[in-house]
Structure formats: C-alpha cells, structure tokens
C-alpha cells in the first residue's frame, strides 16, 4: 500500500488508535441501546448494555477465541457478531445525528435506535446470502493487432476455509463452465489465511472433487500464494503486457470498500487499468474471508476476452 492512508493503517500506531476508538464507540453503542430499551420498555436491569458490551468483548478477543476454540461454527458466529456490531454502530451514529438535526427526542428517537439494530441484522443476513452467489464479469482487453481472440476465465481469492466450502467452489466451477474459456487462471489466495482447513481431510477431499470440475482446453493454471496488486508496478517496469491479480476483494463490504480504495489507490483497487503498455485487471475475488458477507460487492468469475 503506497498511498499515505495505506502506509498509515499499516504503521505501528494504527492498531492502538483503532482499538481506542473501538472501545469508545462500543461504549456509546451499549449506552445508547440500553437507553432506548429502557425508555420503551421501562426497567431493563442493564441487560441491553451488558449484551452489547459482551458482544464487543468477544469481537475484541476473537483471534484468541478462535485459536482456543477451533471450528467453523465459532468463526462464523464471531464473524456474524462483528458484522452486526459494525452496521448497528454505523446506523446508530447516523440516527443519533439525525435526531440532533431534526430534532427528534424521547420515544421516537429510542424507537429509531432499536430499529437500527433490526435493520443491521437484516443487512447482515442479506450480505450472507449474497456472499453465497457468484456472478460473471466480462472484460475485453486489446493487446495487439493480429485480430485473433482468446478467452480466459480469471478467479482469485477463493479463501477455502471457515466461510468458503466445497459447495461454493462448485458454484465457481459452474460459472466457469458457463463461460467456456480456453484457459483458466487462478491468481492466488486459494486457502484461507489460517490454513486450518488443510487439517480437515474430509473437507479437502470434497474441495478437491469440486476443483476437479474446473477445466479448459488449454489448461488450468494457479498461483497458491499472495497476489498483491502493488506488484503491477514491477511488472509494468519489466515490460509485461498483461497482469492479472486480485487481493483487494474490492473491499468486500460497505463501508470498508471506500477505505480499501483509499488505501490501495484507485488504480490498484478493482477492474481494468492501463499502465503505459501494460494492461491489468484486478478482480474482486471469487470467495470471501474474515467476515461472512458481501455487501456492495460480489464474488465474481471474470471472463476476459483478449484481442491479440
């Protein structure tokens, strides 16, 4: 990440600043939620405050929890909880500001706060269901003047693991079959970040069977490791004609997509870009990781038509 914001969020002071803001904002959310329920229902014994605070603590310590309690259900549960807190906080902040501007107070303000939690839960559910789908994205890239055409199916960021299983790989394979490419390229991050799925023999067998459905006349080629789009600079300097990569997930979900674009720079975020004589396509990925949702973005298989 070569932008100023990218360097800032990868710097040594960012984690402390982030978690300080996290604690303050979660305290606000817990207090606001408890106030709303108390105003609408009467005595609550502080239960809404305690529930939000407990959720915030679980998210804060989720890495340690996942290490101690291995399992897909634990990771999914913490993932859903994280998403719920993110959207509940965002909506509650917006609603609180609106209440100050309009102005709204009393039961109307409290009812809106409770509604924010309900809308957040619905948003996470929609995002989870959307993450289980795969769309086709088409792009044509001119590389020469010979007049021949060659079709490639590009996929990246599958992240087989806690959230992506063999069934999702089957969806990817089905979309590739619909495209009918001459070659398939898998450009990195096939396995999720913690590699835990590699210890699950049954899951690996099922995933292998799903992967075997991906085929093309000229073959399937894969890169197992990282595929940072910042490598485009080196490729362009070396005179490469075409660079295909992923890594950014296009931010995966709103509002993180804005921060991801800001951190990577708009030319290294998503889609077809030109760098002198070098053409590049950065995919949003065919899978997802860390959180089990896609909101404002989609899993994709890219159908690249190369004009040679």
Q: Looking at residue 180, what is its pLDDT?
A: 96
Q: Report residues of the chain scoring pLDDT below 70.
A: 227
The answer to whether the beta carbons of residues 81 and 291 sit under 8 Å apart is: no
- Whether 249 contacts 217, CB under 8 Å: no
Give the model's pLDDT for residue 204: 92
pLDDT at 23: 96
Dist. CA 176–CA 155, nearest whole Å: 9
Buried b (16+ CB within 10 A) or exposed e, 189-226: bbbbeeebbeeeeebeebbeebbeebebeeebeebeee
Handedness of CA 134, 116, 92, 57 (dihedral sign): negative
Instruction: Give CATH 3.60.21 domain extents, the chain.
Output: 134-307
Q: Whose CA is closest to 141, among 306, 308, 277, 280?
A: 306
With 0.85 as the threshold, say if the pTM is over it.
Answer: yes
pLDDT in tens, 133-191: 999 999 999 998 777 999 999 999 999 998 999 999 999 999 999 999 999 999 989 99
**How far apart (Å, rounded) are the C-alpha atoms in residues 273 and 145?**
19
For the 134-307 domain, the top CATH level (class) is: alpha beta
Residue-level pLDDT at 45:
84
């Amino acid at each position: 990440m070569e932008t100023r914001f990218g360097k800032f969020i990868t710097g040594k002071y960012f984690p402390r600043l982030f978690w300080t803001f996290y604690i303050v904002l979660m305290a606000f959310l817990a207090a606001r939620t408890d106030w709303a329920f108390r105003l609408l229902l009467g005595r609550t014994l502080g239960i809404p405050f305690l529930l939000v605070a407990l959720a915030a603590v679980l998210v804060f310590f989720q890495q340690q929890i996942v290490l101690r309690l291995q399992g897909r259900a634990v990771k999914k549960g913490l993932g859903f909880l994280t998403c719920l807190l993110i959207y509940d906080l965002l909506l509650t902040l917006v609603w609180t500001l609106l209440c100050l501007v309009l102005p709204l107070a009393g039961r109307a303000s409290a009812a809106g706060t409770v509604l924010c939690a309900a809308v957040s839960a619905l948003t996470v559910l929609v995002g989870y269901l959307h993450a289980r789908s795969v769309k086709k994205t088409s792009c044509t890239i001119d590389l020469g003047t010979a007049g021949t055409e060659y079709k490639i199916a590009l996929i990246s960021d599958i992240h087989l693991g806690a959230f992506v299983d063999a069934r999702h790989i089957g969806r990817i394979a089905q979309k590739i079959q619909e495209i009918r490419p001459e070659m398939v390229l898998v450009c990195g991050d096939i396995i999720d970040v913690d590699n835990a799925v590699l210890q699950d023999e049954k899951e690996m067998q099922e995933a292998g069977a799903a992967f075997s459905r991906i085929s093309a006349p000229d073959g399937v080629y894969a890169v197992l490791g990282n595929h940072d789009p910042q490598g485009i600079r080196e490729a362009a300097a070396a005179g490469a004609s075409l660079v295909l990569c992923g890594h950014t997930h296009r931010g995966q979900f709103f509002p993180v997509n804005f921060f991801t674009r800001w951190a990577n720079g708009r030319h290294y975020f998503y889609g077809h870009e030109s760098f002198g004589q070098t053409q590049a396509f950065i995919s949003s990925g065919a899978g997802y990781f860390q959180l089990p949702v896609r909101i404002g973005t989609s899993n994709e298989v890219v159908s690249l038509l190369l004009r040679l």
